[in-house]
Amino acid sequence: MSSVLRLLSSVLCPLVVLGAFSAPDPVFRSDIPFSAIRLRKQQTDSPAVWKATLAQFAKYRDAVDEVWFSSFITTPKMDAHRVHAARLAAAAEDVRRLGVRPSLQIHTIGCAAAWTKYGDNSGVAWQAYTAEDGTETPAANCPRAPGFHAYLAEVGRTYAAAMRPHSLWIDDDIRITGHHRAGGPSGHGCHCARCLDDFAKREGKSRTRKQLLAEMKKNPALAARWRAFAYESQALVVKAVAEGVHAASPETRVCIQHPGNVAAGSRRMYEAAHAATGLPSGMRVGASG
């Protein structure tokens, strides 16, 4: 795969280089860098745009090994996902005919309020993510809300059944920081009543949000336990997605675009993906947090 072709591919779409592809695979060589081109929803919504994009993939076939399609970056109702999944199923077949692997990226917890302007959050019917100052972020979801878990499992099943993707990538919004609606510090993890109550049951002691924050400043061990709890919350999100995916497409692996670090707590996410699917997970560096 020539450097010129890879440069051209970076102009076509955002390029993700996943490193040397060393795992045995009957289709892809292991002596060249492996590249995946990540698309956004806008690039498949328009038939004309998708036709032009596909033509570039065909023209520069040596520059692309895998295409990551994208679900919504917000939380719409399931009907919207079903319509989009059907569109992506056809697009996935288009790239398969070129000998390119189709994969998928999905949004989960959500980012900050700025993302609300990009789309529809009408599917939210549970607690919003709550920052350490008590601010709720409508575009982000409590990672422990049972309704959210059920929604994610259905999202995973819907896309996996329609597309049969090689991999499903969970976007880097699955992180324990960076969810404040106004751009302020969100703290580590969601601080809603459910999360505080679940943590209290584990600790054997109830604390208000302000009490917890004050005690953590004086007690590093407590702060470490709270961060571990926050990472466990993320793992619950991964578990919900992975179980939904595996039910519809047992051959699809579930991977994480981890938030710019490999803290020990992040390992729980990969373990959750593997436990649900029995397949190796994957990793890509994303945003910080």
Query: DSSP for 171-196?
Result: PTT-SSS---TTSS---SS--SHHHH
Residues 6+ apart with CB under 8 A from 131: 137, 179, 180, 181, 184, 185, 186, 187, 191
**Predicted confidence band of residue 187 (pLDDT cuts 50, 70, 90):** confident
Q: Which domains does the chain have, with CATH numbers?
A: 3-277 (3.20.20.80)
> How many angstroms separate the Cα of 136 from the Cα of each of 63, 151, 191?
43, 20, 9
Structure tokens, 204: 């054997």
19-33, 67-81, 89-103, range with the lowest pLDDT: 19-33
- Of 228, 241, 147, the closest CA to residue 194 belongs to 147
Query: What was the pLDDT predicted at 181?
Result: 63
DSSP code, position 39: P
Sole residue written with tokens 């880097």: 172
Is 60 exceeded by the pLDDT of residue 28? Answer: no
DSSP 3-state assignment of 110? Answer: coil
Q: How would you class 67 by CB atoms within 10 Å of its CB: exposed for 0-12, middle for 13-18, buried for 19 or more?
A: buried
In total, the chain counts a number of residues equal to: 289
Give the global pTM: 0.86
Q: Which residues pair with 103 in a beta bridge?
A: 68
Q: What is the pLDDT of residues 212-263, one digit of tens each?
A: 999 999 999 999 999 999 999 999 999 999 999 999 999 999 999 876 655 6
| Dihedral (CA of 188, 194, 200, 205) sign | positive
- Of 64, 73, 70, the closest CA to residue 11 belongs to 64
User: Nearest 10 degrees: CA dihedral of 210, 211, 214, 219?
Assistant: -140
Q: What is the pLDDT of residues 125-174, one digit of tens each?
A: 999 999 888 988 888 899 999 999 999 999 999 999 999 999 999 988 88
Cβ count within 10 A of residue 48: 7
Q: Buried b / exposed e across 125-148, counting CB within 10 Å, b at 16+?
A: ebbbbbbbeebbbbbbbbbbbeeb
Query: What was the pLDDT predicted at 287?
Result: 58
Helices 146-163 & 220-248, crossing angle to 10 degrees? 40
Q: What is the largest CA-CA distance in the chain?
A: 63
Going by their DSSP bridges, the two strands 66-70 and 101-106 should be labelled as parallel
- Strand segments, DSSP code E, in 71-166 are 101-106, 128-130, 136-141
Is 50 exceeded by the pLDDT of residue 1? Answer: no
Per-residue pLDDT averaged across 173-191, rounded? Answer: 75
